[in-house]
Amino acid sequence: MNLKEWQEAFYKGIFDPTQENIQHACHGVNGTENLSSEDRLGIYRGSILGGITSGLTGIFPVCEKLVGEQYFTQMVSGYLKQYPSGSPDLGNYGEHLPAYISEFEPAKELVYLPDVAQLEWLWHTAFNATDINELSSLPFRPVSELAAIQPEDQALIQFCLNPSASLMQSNFPVHQIWGVNQEDFEGEQTVNLDDGGVNLIVWRSQDFGMRIDVLNDDELKFLTAIQKGKLFADIAGMTFSLPISELLPPYIQMGLIAGFNLGKQ
């Protein structure tokens, strides 16, 4: 076995520890009286799974709290097998955990768990998203340049959301579940699942930091159209309960709409 073959065997022996895979992984590994080569592989397994689990606990603390440490660890080891980590940055790992949880049989009763995980992932990505002060790396023009757009070009404006922003919909009051499970939460601890679904936008504002805002159906429809890159002319043709002249300005003011491009007819 050369080094490459052994490293591959080691990986399998960690993440898919069948008797055969363990034996392969232990090829050429010294055992001692106190610790067999299998024991030594096991130390690495514990260390690797422990490290990744604690990384994911950092991103999904509410999920971990809801299901408990043991259960969460079990979920992570299944997730790792199905979705290996492809980046040196552990902070990039976890995108597919919500999808995995929704397929995870033992968690089926916690119907809202995949959405809680999704909310936590969006929070994590918003936290790490590019700051709008770093404009040189952003693919849009600042809203301050809107005034310079010729009237005949206004129909072609495509507004752009703050790069940290993500929209989500849930059939459960997932923002409340998230809220009451924050460490600094004070107040009524119970969430009534019958409160029903919610539309959310998760983002990082320049002035107020991390935010989760609740949207009504109109606001969701409007912001979804913007997120999809629809031209202003098309959005103006959609029906909302408020005129666009009232819907738009607050979003620009709070920085949720952070810039624009000019599209093609």
Partner 1 sequence: MSSYKFKGHEIQGAGLGLRSSHYQEIFDTKPDVPWFELLSDNYMSDGGLPIIRAEKIREDYPVTLHGVGMSLGSTDPLNTDYLSKLKALTDRIEPTYVSDHIAWVSVGGKYTHDLLPLPYTEETLHHISDRISQVQEFLGRKILVENPSSYMTFDSTDMTEAEFIKGITQRTDCDLLLDINNIYVSAVNHDFDPYEYLKGIPSDRVKEIHLAGYEKMDNYLFDTHGYQVHPPVWDLYRAALKQFGAIPTLIEWDTDVPSFTTLRQEAKKAEQQLKAFS
Catalog residues that contact partner 1 under the rule CB under 8 A. 3-4, 7-8, 10-11, 14, 28-30, 34-35, 37, 39-41, 43-44, 47-48, 51-52, 54-55, 84-91, 93, 127-131, 134, 137, 204
Query: Positive or negative, the Cα torsion across 89, 92, 103, 74?
Result: positive
Residue closer to partner 1, measured from CB, 41 or 62: 41
Q: Which two tokens stand for residue 176?
A: 């409340």
The answer to whether residues 49 and 21 touch, using CB atoms and an 8 Å cutoff, is no
Q: How far is the CB of 172 from partner 1 (least distance, A)?
A: 28
CA dist 263 and 59 (Å) reads 36
Q: How far is the CB of 222 from partner 1 (least distance, A)?
A: 27
Question: CA distances (Å), 165 to each of 1, 5, 173, 213, 225, in order?
Answer: 49, 43, 19, 11, 14
Q: How far is the CB of 88 from partner 1 (least distance, A)?
A: 3
Residue closer to partner 1, measured from CB, 10 or 178: 10
The answer to whether residues 38 and 29 touch, using CB atoms and an 8 Å cutoff, is no
CA dist 111 and 113 (Å) reads 6
Question: Shortest CA distance to 110 belongs to which of 166, 65, 54, 143?
Answer: 65
Residue closer to partner 1, measured from CB, 2 or 150: 2
Beta bridge partners of 199: 169, 215
Q: How far is the CB of 112 from partner 1 (least distance, A)?
A: 28
Question: What Rg do the C-alpha atoms of the chain give, in angstroms?
Answer: 24
Q: How far is the CB of 92 from partner 1 (least distance, A)?
A: 8
Residue closer to partner 1, measured from CB, 2 or 189: 2
Residue closer to partner 1, measured from CB, 48 or 146: 48
Residue closer to partner 1, measured from CB, 128 or 216: 128
Q: How far is the CB of 79 from partner 1 (least distance, A)?
A: 13
